[in-house]
Structure formats: C-alpha cells, structure tokens
Amino acid sequence: MLLLDYQNVLIQSLLTERAPPASIDQVVSDFDGVTFHLSTPESKTKILISIHVKCYKELVQYGAQQVLEREYGPYIVTPEPGYDFSVQVDLENLPAEEEAREELIMKLALMKRNAMAAPFERAFDEFTKLAEEASQYTSESAPQGVKEGGDVMAIHYREEEAIYIKASWDRVTVIFSTVFREETDRIFGKVFLQEFVDARRRVVTLQNAPQVLFRSDPPLELEGVPGLKNTGEGEISYVTFGMAFHLNTPAHRLR
C-alpha cells in the first residue's frame, strides 16, 4: 500500500536538515498542481517559502487568508510575484526548544493543507449552527434554510476537476468530480471506490465511517451548481463522502 504524507516532505526535510546554510532557488510541484518556491533572496539563513494554488481565489472566499494568518502570523511577508502567499523563516531565530522547532517546521510543511482546510472549517462551523437550529423544529415546521442546509462551496483545484463541500444539519457532504479519460482508469477507479462501500458494510468498526457513493451524473447536492458536466459515459465521475454526525439534540429534531 502506498501512503502519501499530507505535509510537503521536501520543505520538512530542508528545514530539519539544513546545516550549514546554503543558497536555495528551487521550485517544487505537488501531484495536484500546487507549486512551491523555496529561495534565499536576502541571505543564506533566511528562507522564503511561497505557494501557488490554482484555486486560491476561491479558498480566500471561504476564509483561507484568515486561516493562514492564524497559523503563520509573524512569518508572513508580501507574496512573491507569481505566487499567492509567502512566509519567511530565519534559521538563526527558530524556537530554542526542539519540540517547538519541530512544530513550526511541520506547520510550514503543511501550508497547502492549511489553505485547503478553510472551506472545511467553514462547513463544520455551518454544520454546528444548522444542527442547533434544527433541534428547535420538526420536519413540518423547519424553515427552508435549515432543511436545505448551507450553500455549496466549490474548489476547482484542477482544470477539469473540483471538490464540492456542503453543510447540512446532520452531515457535511464532500463531493469530488474526477475525470477518467481511459476505460481502464474508469474500471480501476470504480473497483477501488467500491472497496470503500464493501469495507464499510463488512467491518463493524467502519460502519460509522463516511458513506461513499460513486456515480457518473451529478448528485442531488449539486443541483443548481453551474458548470457541471455529465457525459453519460462515466468519463466524469462524482465521488461523494457523506460525513454524518451523531447529534445530542432533542428527540423532536428535524428528520
């Protein structure tokens, strides 16, 4: 089984093993098209780390700037030309305690993850609010906003693919639109995703895991969202993860 780290391993190793200081000017691309630029434009001990994300403007709409400011406050500098966000780290002024230093290095290596986390944080906050509102109503008396949940947040992280996130009163639904150009890819993709369904059914400890659905037409959660495609041939598939939550709300909650 291939396990991919969710942090950028190059940034992590560079900041961990960097001795003695040396000049850097390196561009790194992740598998999803995100680009990092690591450089030392001022001195060998001051590393500038910049990131470019295709969907950054969308992420900003969902609070990415606030999340990044929360995580990197004193290290933030004016974004490097051609990039969306930059931080600068002085190797001579890293935290003295080893644990704090490793925590900072990991945080820097998680820059993409932290930017992408913004719409998910918003969705979970929205879920909490909707759940509280839903606990006050029955299905007959609940207003439309509570029944239908929040707006769909779209993250077009690739040219033809996107992630859609929608909060409801009892769950957060995450939908991936995935392009399978070749018939073989479609078959492998379907087999792989079907394993999520089968494992959840077979293994008792996984029965509370997110439900996974796989289809070639847009799911109902995306009704009304512009720009959706349905080839009818499975070239574009929609993978739905429905993360349901157990709510400590009154018995007459919305159903």
How much is the pTM?
Answer: 0.81
Higher pLDDT, 15 or 106: 106
Contacts with 48 (C-beta within 8 Å, 6 or more apart), sequence order: 37, 38, 39, 40, 41, 42, 77, 80, 86, 87, 88
Mean pLDDT of 79-106: 92
**Domain chopping of the chain, boundaries:** 9-109, 136-244
Q: Are 9-109 and 136-244 equal in CATH topology?
A: yes
Q: What is the pLDDT confidence band of residue 252, given thresholds at 50, 70 and 90? A: very low
55-62 own/partner pairs: CB under 8 Å, 24+ apart: 55/155, 55/156, 55/157, 56/84, 56/85, 56/115, 58/154, 58/155, 58/156, 59/115, 59/116, 59/118, 59/119, 59/155, 62/118, 62/119, 62/122, 62/153, 62/155
3-state secondary structure of 240: strand
The yes/no answer on whether domain 9-109 falls in CATH 3.40.640.10 is no
H/E segment holding residue 178: strand 171-179
* pLDDT value at residue 80: 96
* pLDDT value at residue 69: 97
* pLDDT value at residue 255: 40
Fold of 136-244: Yope Regulator; Chain: A, (3.30.1460)
Higher pLDDT, 103 or 232: 103
Q: What is the pLDDT of residues 134-177, one digit of tens each?
A: 777 665 555 655 666 788 999 999 888 899 999 988 888 899 88
pLDDT at 189 over 50: yes
